[in-house]
Amino acid sequence: MNIMEIFDTMEYGPAPEAANPGLAWIKEHQPFGLFINNKWVKPAGKQYIESINPSTGKPLARVAAASSADVDRAVAAARAAFEMWGKTPGHVRARYMYAIARHIQKHSRLLAVLESLDNGKPIRETRDIDIPLVARHFYYNAGWAQLMEQEMVGFEPVGVVGQIIPWNFPLLMLAWKIAPALAMGNTIVLKPARYTSLTALKFAEIMQEVGLPPGVVNILTGEASQVGEALVRHPDVNKIAFTGSTDVGRSIRRATAGSGKKISLELGGKSPFIVFDDADLDSVVEGVVDAIWFNQGQVCCAGSRLLMQENIADRLIAKLRERMEHLRIGDPLDKAVDIGAIVSPGQLKEIQRLVNQGVEEGAQMWQPSWACPTEGYFFPPTLFTNVSPATTIAQVEIFGPVLVAMTFRTPDEAVALANNTRYGLAASVWSENINLALDIAPKIKAGSVWVNCTNLFDASSGFGGYRESGFGREGGKEGLYEYAQPAWKTKAAQEFLIAIESTSANGAKSAHEDGSDEQSLAGEDNYQYGDDGTNGYHPVLPAIDRTPKMFIGGKQVRPDSGYSRDVYDARGRVIGQVGEGNRKDIRNAVEAAHAAGGWAIGTTHNRAQILYYIAENLSAREDEFARRVALQTGCTRADAANEVQVAISRLFSYAAWTDKYEGVVHRPPLRGAVLALPEAIGVIGIACPDEYPLLGFISLVAPAIAMGNTVVVIPSPQSPLSATDCYQVLETSDLPAGVVNIVTGDRDTLSQVLADHDDVDSMWYFGPLEGCQRVELASAGNMKRTWVSYGHPRAWLETVQGEGQEFLRESTQVKNIWIPYGE
Ligand code: NDP
């Protein structure tokens, strides 16, 4: 083509990036080994797998296929390294991380080329987005390593962390996981996706260059069934961090249930892209390109559902088609290419299958007139209109360049459509009316909301899902808590294990056998049976029988079963009955809790006032509550009075926190701000501990409702009367009906129903290990969050264990609202 012709057509010429440096590096290193203890080692099983270049379909490299024996080796190396790395001063860790960031920048071009060769994504994206963000994550988290001692007082690393990452952003996902883990002092065994291991291997080389101590980061390439599963089940791994499909996330939840492993799951999505009629449509079109054709749509937070206000739909679709006609697909190393290759033939087939299904279900498909390259795995940008919200393509994550468009008329309808998904990862809202956009953003159930922008990421701003998009956050300060835990927890867990071992060695004794409670009850300070304010004053008249009912939707209701269960004092004498709750009571309670959802959108000032009011009403009946605690537990009068006092103080604490746990504003490198808002999770099921019947109940319910959740509570099964006594306190404290619902009965039976329930968003369980395991297993159904005690006792009276930000974090999920500004 001569210059005149170029001027006439304005066609792009090819602008290829040289593949040679990447290919030379591969040639020099292959077959690649496993990276354990800072050394390249051969896989125990001597097996290798091929990495394919998706844009040609040809083999690119041979990488080692690790087996479970290699996982054992790598975990042992990480454990040994943890002894030292976990105690290394923050400043030293910061220096290593800073060096890693520097080296990533020094090798940025090679990393970008390798990523494009291995994954098929355009060099424009790897060079300008993936790799700079990788460096940014190490710089940002180097800062947290430096500040950990001051900013996270009392926290320590979790230990050995297993990290499993997907193929869509291979090096970026590695950075999201390794950087915060290193900053907090953990050691790591990471498994890249089998299709895309190369940049992780180059990263391993960088670890050697910067002289990171051996065993701190270990990288095992290979198959999920060999490496991934062995890592998940390994007894010496303290935490699993996973990004990938919801199905695998669910299987990891099940496999780790009851093991005490911390987990964070970043899963799939079907994110809405909402366009109101006053939006700047030309910007919207570019937004859509970034939302669904960025990385060939293989993005967990891709804006794959276009929701358009009806009156602009035709205009927007016409503009989109025009733009799609000009998108360029082809060699990922060509700098002028918009869309690269799909990662594998399997993924390509799955996209085609879902597209066919969309057509069969009656939606109208449109693709540009140009053809895809015939070599390699390419799929054209695809637009579906006439889509019904219930169809497969509107509900299932396609993970390809496929956009489904629907219309709405009112803002309420837009929100309803946006939330009509089991996922909740991200959303974009487009409107020139900032009031409207900021009104819509909090109503969408998603971890990130982008206002007039899309697919923006930064290390300072947390990322993660609501609902079946997983739990846990990556990025921001909140992401650090995935890799750190309060020091007392590690100590308490160790002491608990020692205590269990010595009990089983000496033969377990019941309280009655060793006479301990006998002695305590006989003490001078104790309340005697019958001294509960109802007996003794009228020796002739029998006391009026008081059988606490359930507390559901603000009303005291009888148990559906019509059965009651006896409640005993510490000496084993019956002191009352409570209702025997069943599945139906829980169902009604969950319904009531949902109906009270408005609690979350009331003002924080109002919620604080109500918590103070509950404290005030509890204080008015302090003596009666103390007697009840003493009667149930056999503790001394002074201890019972102290428990009530601490419960009142705790209510004050959460009343105080209600309008102070407000989130932060991030300033990522863009002209704009990101509001990181802690939001209520929704309906939380709470199974209370046996010990401290009043304080355990208040310590869990108060933070949950302070943050705007509504709760269904199962009180201490041994001593439920302190919770049921609270009905009247709650009823007289202006607490709206349904915010707190209390169902008495068998803790495990009722917890199982709550954990199975699809309309419960989080489940807390403070009880025996087996119960914790059951709750974690059942929660995998709708991927609800869980918070369980693994059978470890907690010092509820102590502020450091019994209250504070740990409780507030469990009560909230952070939504990041991105608001760019400027004309
Ligand atoms: P997977 O969830 O299967 O894979 C993600 C990672 O987990 C990979 O490293 C994989 O290893 C590993 N893995 C798979 N199974 C297990 C297991 N049982 N135990 C431990 N680790 C395991 O995603 P796919 O690659 O199969 O993609 C399928 C679909 O998942 C996509 O179409 C998309 O919908 C979704 N997905 C979502 C992502 C996200 O970012 N949210 C990312 C990738 C996929 P290996 O590579 O060896 O199989």
How does pLDDT run across 59-117, given as a tens digit for each residue? Answer: 999 999 999 999 999 999 999 999 999 999 999 999 999 999 999 999 999 999 999 99
CA of 192 to the centre of ligand 1 (A): 10
Nearest Cα neighbor of 429 from 440, 419, 420, 421 is: 440
Catalytic-role residue among 115, 125, 300, 580 = 300
Structure confidence at residue 495 as a pLDDT band (50, 70, 90): low
Binding site membership of 164 for ligand 1 (Cβ less than 6 Å): yes
User: How far is 363 from 368, CA to CA, in rounded Å?
Assistant: 17
- What is the per-residue pLDDT for 541? 58
- What is the per-residue pLDDT for 5? 82
The token pair at 650 is 């705790």
Nearest Cα neighbor of 142 from 190, 182, 173 is: 182
Tell me how far the alpha carbon of residue 180 is from its chain's centroid. 15
Binding site membership of 268 for ligand 1 (Cβ less than 6 Å): yes
The token pair at 89 is 């001063």
CA of 247 to the centre of ligand 1 (A): 9
Average pLDDT of span 347-373: 98
Nearest CA to ligand 1 atom 6: 166
Q: Which residue has the tokens 């040639």?
A: 27
The token pair at 587 is 């169902």
Contact between 78 and 160 (Cβ < 8 Å) = yes
231, 245, 377, best to mutate for ligand 1 pocket (most atoms within 8 Å of CB): 245
Binding site membership of 715 for ligand 1 (Cβ less than 6 Å): no
Nearest CA to ligand 1 atom 38: 244
CA of 611 to the centre of ligand 1 (A): 44
| Sequence-ordered list of residues with C-beta below 8 angstroms from that of 696, at least 6 positions apart, any chain | 688, 689, 690, 716, 766, 796
In order, the DSSP letters of 663-687 are: -EEE--SSSEEEEEEEEE-SEEEEE
The token pair at 318 is 């016409």
- What is the per-residue pLDDT for 540? 47
- 604-620 and 637-658 are packed helices; what angle lies between their axes, rounded to 10 degrees? 160
The answer to whether residue 372 is catalytic is: no
In the predicted structure, residue 791 carries a pLDDT above the cut 70 = yes
In the predicted structure, residue 509 carries a pLDDT above the cut 60 = no
Nearest CA to ligand 1 atom 28: 245
CA of 545 to the centre of ligand 1 (A): 59
In the predicted structure, residue 733 carries a pLDDT above the cut 90 = yes
Binding site membership of 194 for ligand 1 (Cβ less than 6 Å): yes
Average pLDDT of span 658-672: 93
Give the β-pairing of 402-408 and 470-471.
unpaired
Q: Which residue has the tokens 């797998």?
A: 49
CA of 299 to the centre of ligand 1 (A): 12
In the predicted structure, residue 539 carries a pLDDT above the cut 70 = no
Binding site membership of 168 for ligand 1 (Cβ less than 6 Å): yes
pLDDT digits (tens, 9 = 90+) for 258-292: 999 999 999 999 999 999 999 999 999 999 999 99
Residue 52 DSSP SS3: strand
CA of 539 to the centre of ligand 1 (A): 71
- What is the per-residue pLDDT for 597? 94
Question: In what order do the strands lie in the sheet containing 470-471?
Answer: 39-41, 34-36, 217-219, 187-191, 160-164, 239-243, 262-266, 470-471
The answer to whether residue 17 is catalytic is: no
pLDDT digits (tens, 9 = 90+) for 30-47: 999 999 999 999 999 999
Q: What is the distance between the terminal CA atoms of the chain, rounded to a whole angstrom?
A: 39
Kind and range of the H or E element at 191? strand 187-191
Catalytic-role residue among 17, 115, 229, 266 = 266
Structure confidence at residue 419 as a pLDDT band (50, 70, 90): very high
Nearest Cα neighbor of 576 from 546, 535, 543, 556 is: 546
Binding site membership of 253 for ligand 1 (Cβ less than 6 Å): no
CA quadruple 185, 187, 193, 196: dihedral positive or negative?
Answer: positive
Backbone angles phi, psi at 666, to 5 degrees: -95, 150
- What is the per-residue pLDDT for 693? 96
Dihedral, CA of residue 692, residue 698, residue 704 and residue 710, to nearest 10: 110
- What is the per-residue pLDDT for 266? 96
- What is the per-residue pLDDT for 547? 73
User: What's the per-residue H, E or C state across 289-315?
Assistant: HHHHHHHHHCCCCCEEEEEEEHHHHHH
- What is the per-residue pLDDT for 548? 83
